């Protein structure tokens, strides 16, 4: 090769080396520029992205407060749990165990069959499947240990909280169910939702490169809701519900409700409804009712508006005694019937002209007698006493959806009003309003709001202040007259208990229908107290449209008898502190 050729070859090589060096220099400058860009202008965003890959914020749901009975028996509680989630894309990629082996070990922990678990773990074209929405916290820890022990990738957990009602159907309408969104929930769970709801907490979970948690830090502790203590007694509640179930089975009514109170404090000791439902699993049947039954979620104690019938005579008689227009011994000449504009008013028992004292009118539940007492009282004073006892407005008890009933104002009275309202027809009430009235008579004439919540967050709720409606003497006279209802010849003579000083009143009311009254549908009720001399218990039983037998003395009074017979010894009540001839024998 000539000198010229060698020199030309060297020049070509030099140029190629220079070009290659230039390319490397450009790449180096680009890398330095990129590094400077990422390290300065994009540093914050990249750091956040890195943290997002390895640091996961987790919200810890707040546990709702407990609801207990008067003695601390838990009626509703929240339990911490976990939602178990799987990523099928990761499960099927580079696992220490096969998908079938993972499914075998995981299935019993998530409450699924091995085949169902395997189907979910291998679900195609998805990176997210839920294996269980709520496993107990202890089970969640076992799942965490399983995943960590085998190095399984693609199984994760999120904290949850579930509401449990350990006594099942007991007090279900009273408790209701916890809200899960707007316009949901019921009962005390809904009414006291603000107090029961706690404050969610926050955790920070640090994951390794495979997504497995290696560190969990509490950023903000979860604060549970306030506990609620009720006035009810769980053992009594259980007994009352069993009694109502018997009534439901025997008479197949639309619904039955019972309320038990201590009239000296107006605390509600039991509040039960039939049919019942299980708040652990709300169903469409419970919400809509089964057949012709009342919806099981409905609290009939405050939702049922019905004509009270003869139980309302206690109001008419109390007002007349307080105004001094009658005494228990005042005698009325009772005709066989009253003909009011072609509408015949008669008594349950057919009779001719008879002389009944006010006391006997109460004992045999004479509609005609109640009307004659109402006539002597007068429309204006009668209207006053209806309002004074609280009818036409809610009692204010701590339950949502309480109805006010329907009462005609005085300026809308017509020619028939004072011939049907005095014996409990032509107005509607709720069982809770009637209990409030009988509590007033039982407690010496003082009207109070029925109390259901005893304490919130450990702080006692003040007892409701009372307002005197009638004198203690008048209240005592009314109780004494109602003793006769359970005595021989009374409308509930079969409901008495030997050695018990008891008083009460039956009610059998036709159901209003199409502008008139049904001849086949009735509401049977009984409200009574023990001991009549100084009542410690008031018990109301209301049976909506029983089948076959319709009278309050036959349908509701026996249930009252069973409840009182159980409750008196349980609470250690002396049923006859002052022996009374013909009563406590």
Under a CB-based contact definition with an 8 Å cutoff, are residues 83 and 158 in contact? yes
pLDDT of residue 63: 86
Residue 583's pLDDT is 63
Nearest C-alpha neighbor of 170 from the set 92, 266, 239: 239
The pLDDT of residue 389 is 98
3-state class of 46 per DSSP?
Answer: helix
In 439-484, where do the E strands start and end?
446-447, 453-456, 459-460, 467-468
Residue 419 tokens read as: 């011939």
Domains in the chain: ranges and CATH:
56-230 (3.90.1310.10), 234-570 (3.40.710.10)
| pLDDT number for residue 46 | 45
First CA to last CA across the chain, in angstroms? 146
Q: What is the pLDDT of residues 405-442, one digit of tens each?
A: 999 999 999 989 999 999 999 999 999 999 999 999 99
Report CA dihedral (65, 67, 72, 77) to the nearest 10 degrees: -60
Which phi and psi angles does 509 have, rounded to 5°?
A: -120, 135
Q: How far apart are CA 160 and CA 177, in angstroms?
A: 17
What are the distances in angstroms from CA 171 to CA 31, 72, 92, 525, 566?
72, 15, 49, 21, 18
Which H or E run includes 122? Answer: none
Q: How far apart are CA 451 and CA 468, in angstroms?
A: 17
Spatial distance between the Cα atoms of 435 and 441, rounded to a whole number of angstroms: 10
Please give the pLDDT value at position 50: 46
Question: Which stretches of the chain score pLDDT less than 50?
Answer: 38, 46-47, 49-51
**DSSP for 223-282, written as a single string:** B----EEES--HHHHHHHHHHHHHHHHHH--SEEEEEEEETTTTEEEEEEEES---TTS-
Give the count of alpha carbons within 13 A of 19, CB side only. 6
The encoded tokens of residue 336 equal 């066989």
Instruction: Please state, as a whole number, how many other Cβ atoms lie within 10 Å of the Cβ of residue 92.
Output: 15
* Per-residue model confidence (pLDDT) at position 208: 55
């Amino acid at each position: 090769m000539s000198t010229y050729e060698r020199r030309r070859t060297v020049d070509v090589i030099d140029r190629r080396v220079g070009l290659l060096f230039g390319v490397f220099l450009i790449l180096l400058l680009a890398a330095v520029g990129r590094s400077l860009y990422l390290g300065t202008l994009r540093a914050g965003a990249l750091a956040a992205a890195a943290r997002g890959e390895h640091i996961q914020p987790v919200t810890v749901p707040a546990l709702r407060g407990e609801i207990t009975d008067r003695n601390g028996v838990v009626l509703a509680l929240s339990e911490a749990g976990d939602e178990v989630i799987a990523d099928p894309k990761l499960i099927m990629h580079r696992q220490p165990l096969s998908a079938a082996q993972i499914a075998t070990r995981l299935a019993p922990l998530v409450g699924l069959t091995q085949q169902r678990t395997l189907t979910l773990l291998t679900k195609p074209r998805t990176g997210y499947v839920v294996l269980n929405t709520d496993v107990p916290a202890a089970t969640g820890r076992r799942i965490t240990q399983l995943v960590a022990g085998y190095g399984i990738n693609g199984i994760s957990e999120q904290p949850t909280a579930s509401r449990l009602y350990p006594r099942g159907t007991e007090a279900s309408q009273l408790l209701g169910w916890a809200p899960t969104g707007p316009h949901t929930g019921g009962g005390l769970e809904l009414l006291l939702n603000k107090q029961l709801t706690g404050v969610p907490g926050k955790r920070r979970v640090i994951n390794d490169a495979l997504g497995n948690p290696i560190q969990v830090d509490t950023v903000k502790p979860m604060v549970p809701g306030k506990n609620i203590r009720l006035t009810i007694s769980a053992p009594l509640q259980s007994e009352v519900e069993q009694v109502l179930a018997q009534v439901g089975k025997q008479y197949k009514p639309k619904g039955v409700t019972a309320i038990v109170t201590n009239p000296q404090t107006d605390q509600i000791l039991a509040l039960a409804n039939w049919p019942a439902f299980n708040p652990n699993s709300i169903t469409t049947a419970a919400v809509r009712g089964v057949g012709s039954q009342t919806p099981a979620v409905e609290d009939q104690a405050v939702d049922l508006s019905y004509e009270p019938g003869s139980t309302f005579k206690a109001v008419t008689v109390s007002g007349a005694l307080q105004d001094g227009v009658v005494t228990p011994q005042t005698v009325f000449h009772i005709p066989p019937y009253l003909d009011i504009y072609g509408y015949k008013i008669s008594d349950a028992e057919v009779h001719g002209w008879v002389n009944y004292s006010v006391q006997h009118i109460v004992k045999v539940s004479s509609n005609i007698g109640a009307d004659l007492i109402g006539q002597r009282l007068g429309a204006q004073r009668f209207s006053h006493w209806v309002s004074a006892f609280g009818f036409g407005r809610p009692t204010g008890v701590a339950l949502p959806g309480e109805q006010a009933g329907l009462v005609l104002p005085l300026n809308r009275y017509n020619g028939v009003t004072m011939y049907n309202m005095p014996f409990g027809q032509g107005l509607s009430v709720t069982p809770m309003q009637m209990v409030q009235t009988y509590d007033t008579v039982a407690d010496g004439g003082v009207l109070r709001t029925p109390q259901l919540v005893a304490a919130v967050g450990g702080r006692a709720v003040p007892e409701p202040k009372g307002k005197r409606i009638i004198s203690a003497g008048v209240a005592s006279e009314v109780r004494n007259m109602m003793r006769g209802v359970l005595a021989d010849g009374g409308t509930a003579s079969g409901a008495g208990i030997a050695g018990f000083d008891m008083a009460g009143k039956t009610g059998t009311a036709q159901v209003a229908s199409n502008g008139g009254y049904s001849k086949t549908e009735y509401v049977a009720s009984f409200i009574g107290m023990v001991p009549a001399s100084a009542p410690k218990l008031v018990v109301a039983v209301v049976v909506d449209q029983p089948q076959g037998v319709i009278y309050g003395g036959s349908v509701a009074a026996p249930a009252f008898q069973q409840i009182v017979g159980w409750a008196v010894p349980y609470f250690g009540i002396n049923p006859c502190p002052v022996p009374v001839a013909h009563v406590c024998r």
